[in-house]
Amino acid sequence: MDILPILSTLRRHKVTAFLVILEIALTCAIVCNAVFLIIQRVDRIHMPSGVAEHELVQIQLADTGAKADEYARAQEDLAALRQIPGVTQVASVRQVPFGMSSNNAGIRLDPDQNKPTLDAATYFGENVIDAFGTRLVAGRNLRPDDYRRLDMVAEGVRTKNLKLFPNTVVITRAVGERLWPGQDPLGRTLYLGKAPLQVVGVLAELVRPQIEDDSAALFSLVIPIQLGGGQYVIRSAPGDRERVLKAALEKLRQNDPHRIVVQKRTMDELRESFFQNDRAMAGLLIGVCVALLVVTALGIVGLGSFWVAQRRRMIGVRRALGATRHDILHYFQTENFLLATIGIAFGMVLAYGINLFLMLHYELPRLPAVYFPIGAVVLWLIGQIAVLGPALRAAAVPPVVATRSV
Amino acid sequence: MLAYYLGLALHSLKQNRVLTALMVLAMGLGIGASMTTLTVFHLLSGDPLPGRSGQLFYPQLDPTPTAAAVLPGNMNYIDAVNLWQAKRADRQAIMVGGNIKTKAAQTGARPMSLHTLATTADFFPMFGVRFTQGNAWTPADDLAKARVAVISRSASNRLFHGESGLGQNIRLGQWDFRVVGVIDDWRPTPHFYELDRESYGGGDEVFIPFLTSRDLAKLGVTGYSLNCYGNTTDDLHLENQPCLWLSFWVELDNSAKAQAYRQFLDNYAREQQVLGRYAQAGPPRTALPDVMQWLDQNGVVPSDVSLKTWIALGFLLVCLMNTTGLLLVKFLRRTTEISVRRALGASRQQIFMQCLVEAVIVGMAGGALGLLLALAGLWGIRHTPADYADLAHLDLPMFAATFVISLAVSLVAGLLPAWRACHIAPALQLKVI
């Protein structure tokens, strides 16, 4: 196909051709960045939690009257929950992954250090590791003799008596890598305030309840502190969860009717509500991308139709001089391809610029190069699809048009 | 003349229905998408108390040992109570919230967890809270640590099943409070006076005197963020702890008073340095932002929303170019008609006007379609679970803005095509006929 005649035609329609190019360029730039944002959101929505998400339910209770002996009641609750058929693990907890409310602590490598080295979520409670179903990759699980009661620990905080604190901790791999890069964290000591904790186990992953910085999402500790109940995590086969939840609520009501249920939900629901804003944003961006591509396609259709109508005589003459329908079709397709290519080239530069702006103002990473060819292919395709209608109409112009005066 | 142009424009638009439909659709999509996101932006960055927010200020002090880049967002007990008792502003109130189990005091009532705000008497007149029944408690109640409460209408309905709660007792934790006032449901957006809770969440439902809440420390109204800068010994009795957990707002009716208050804050901070309560030496670190500055300082508009607004504007730009292209095509297609009109005596200016009128008609039709799409878009947002979802409505200013933007876009889009159209040389075109 000869490109020169197309170029010379386009030169006579500078303004319209320029508008099409500009529109394609802008669309290309916006779509590249929007798709990048969508992929990031989708990645975030699928962030690993490290727990057996499809098997867990969370129940949170609150007392309405005077409290009974919390610790005894917690043991009763746990025993009762364990008896429910289908329940494989039970734990008393203070917070759950993606639960939004979180206890965090500054971790120091030296008790006299001024600023903590990192901030991590602190999971308390018995049997947390087994109940969550997180994978221990090194060391051992926490043992009953590691545990201290929360009220004793609080007493220790008040009286500054370090003996009342637990001595051991299980950390995630991410914490280990940050504290001691490239070294084995097992057996090492970290400090919570002044309290030393020895690392006895390492978990593959355990996500925090509340994530402010995605790079710190897996910074969690499991500290052997026994809780006075109030919040439980129950593990069962995925299909049993509904039934187990009902039975558990009944058992807990029997144990102490003076409590209200503040929270009852599956881990899947937790994840769902945790990422709701990301999902809404991804949905909106997808909508905008589709609409943008449709608008651009409509523009190409409109302009294509105009050019075809304007060049009816020229097409007729060419047909009369021996050009096949195929040649005419090709002519318009090539013309569109040319415009799209120029537009895409500008679009890439623009996309890069927009990305720089977003990096500056929204702390987004750099746009990976792979988006450029994908964006190009998408716009080429859209252009070809949009121009097909007008081009076919052009190809259908009979040669006899050339003989008519107007 | 305008009527004639309108007639001509409609005639020309009717002649080429497909192209017209394309233009209206493109404009509509652009306007619709941008208005949806702009409405959300407008709503979220809006003034929570229009007309009042310029007189409300948030004093900031820094009692911490190390100077962080930003001043602390909360106060400790001693500073808040000192400033409150100094009464140097027209009005001042301490506030701190918490989720507290609440029920009607009679036996058998169902408990529920309600957003409770412990504050002082000036809170209500300062923020212009409207009462439907009863009144706020008095400053004397504050000092007497009275067990009184103000509740919102919806809390009253839920606690007392639609009956009036005024004069009744409610039980917070294990203590009874007498309801002295019921306020109209009040939900300033964003929730500016306590940003630690979700910025766009629901309003507060129960209000109790701050000193009473301290008297009943076990009630646990200690805010949603407790930030301690020293060694703590107790997490319920926070009076003497080096912890930042209270919000303190003042009303200052004019800028001279604001200036004077700023001076007062500096003097206060210096005094505390002398007393040895503030460890940092050097000039006092204080600030006195008003409501909008305070929101801005805290970056309250979610960055997602401003990102969406950028995308919407980009989209609008693409639609603008699209419409320009299509209008250009449309006018250039009518060169013969335009040449005839020019030959018959129409001036360039008249042709220009005629083309612009046509562009504006397309713009208005696109705007109307865009409005429908924006309504649909906002409906969609109301059905997402985002915490500001139920606020997404098109208010009157945004409704008007839709048409202003469509008008502006169509005029801008029409300029180039109209200019090109009025510069067609009639002689050349007429020769062809």
Residue A101 sits in the same domain as residue A134: yes
- Do A306 and B329 count as a contact with CB atoms less than 8 A apart? yes
**B414 contact A CB<8A:** no
- Which one of A249, A274, A299 terminates a domain? A274
Mutation choice for A interface testing from B116, B303, B307, B390 by most A CBs within 10 A: B307
Residue A188 sits in the same domain as residue A233: yes
Residue A226 sits in the same domain as residue A102: yes
Residue A250 sits in the same domain as residue A101: yes
Binding-face residues of A in 72-91 toward B, CB within 8 A: none
**A296 contact B CB<8A:** yes
**A302 contact B CB<8A:** yes
Cα–Cα distance for residue pair A154/A158, rounded to 1 Å: 6
Cα–Cα distance for residue pair A176/A184, rounded to 1 Å: 8
- Do B321 and A26 count as a contact with CB atoms less than 8 A apart? yes
Residue A106 sits in the same domain as residue A180: yes
- Which one of A213, A245, A274 terminates a domain? A274
Residue A234 sits in the same domain as residue A340: no
Segments forming the whole domain that contains residue A329:
3-46+277-404
The answer for A363, left when phi > 0, alpha when psi is -120 to 50, beta otherwise, is left
Of B37, B319, B381, the CB nearest to A295: B319
By C-alpha distance, the chain B residue nearest A306 is: B329
Residue A142 sits in the same domain as residue A252: yes
Bridge partners for A220 per DSSP: A121
Residue A235 sits in the same domain as residue A158: yes
Of B26, B234, B307, the CB nearest to A299: B26
A282 closest CA partner among B34, B304, B42, B390: B304
Residue A161 sits in the same domain as residue A184: yes
ipTM: 0.75
For A329-360, what is each residue's pLDDT tens digit?
998 999 999 999 999 999 999 999 989 988 88
- Report yes or no: A58 and A95 within 8 Å, Cβ to Cβ: no
Q: What percent of chain B has pLDDT over 90?
A: 28
When divided into structural domains, chain A yields a total of: 2
Residue A146 sits in the same domain as residue A224: yes
- Confidence tier at A7 by pLDDT (50, 70, 90): confident
For A33-87, what is each residue's pLDDT tens digit?
888 888 988 998 999 999 999 999 999 887 766 566 888 888 999 999 999 999 9
Residue B259, pLDDT score: 93
Mutation choice for A interface testing from B18, B172, B321 by most A CBs within 10 A: B321
DSSP B52: T
Mutation choice for A interface testing from B36, B329, B334 by most A CBs within 10 A: B329
pTM: 0.73
Of B103, B304, B314, the CB nearest to A277: B304
* B34 chain-A contacts, CB cut-off 8 A: none
DSSP A194-209: TEEEEEEEEES----S
Binding-face residues of A in 167-196 toward B, CB within 8 A: none
Q: What is the mean pLDDT of residues B374-387?
A: 79
Q: What is the mean pLDDT of residues B180-186?
A: 88
* A37 chain-B contacts, CB cut-off 8 A: 307
Q: For strand B175-183 and strand B148-152, is the pairing parallel, antiparallel, or unpaired?
A: parallel
Task: Please indicate whether residue A307 or residue B299 has the higher confidence score (pLDDT).
Answer: A307
pLDDT higher than 90, residue A245: yes
Binding-face residues of B in 12-31 toward A, CB within 8 A: 18-19, 22-23, 25-26, 29-30
Of B324, B333, B386, the CB nearest to A19: B324
Residue A120 sits in the same domain as residue A21: no
User: Using alpha carbons only, what angle is made at residue A26 by residues A23 and A27, rounded to the nearest 5 degrees?
Assistant: 85
Task: Please indicate whether residue B105 or residue B387 has the higher confidence score (pLDDT).
Answer: B105
Residue A268 sits in the same domain as residue A363: no
For A208-242, what is each residue's pLDDT tens digit?
988 877 888 899 999 999 988 789 999 999 999 99
- Do B314 and A30 count as a contact with CB atoms less than 8 A apart? yes
CB-neighbour burial class of residue B55 (10 A; exposed 0-12, middle 13-18, buried 19+): buried
pLDDT higher than 60, residue A406: no
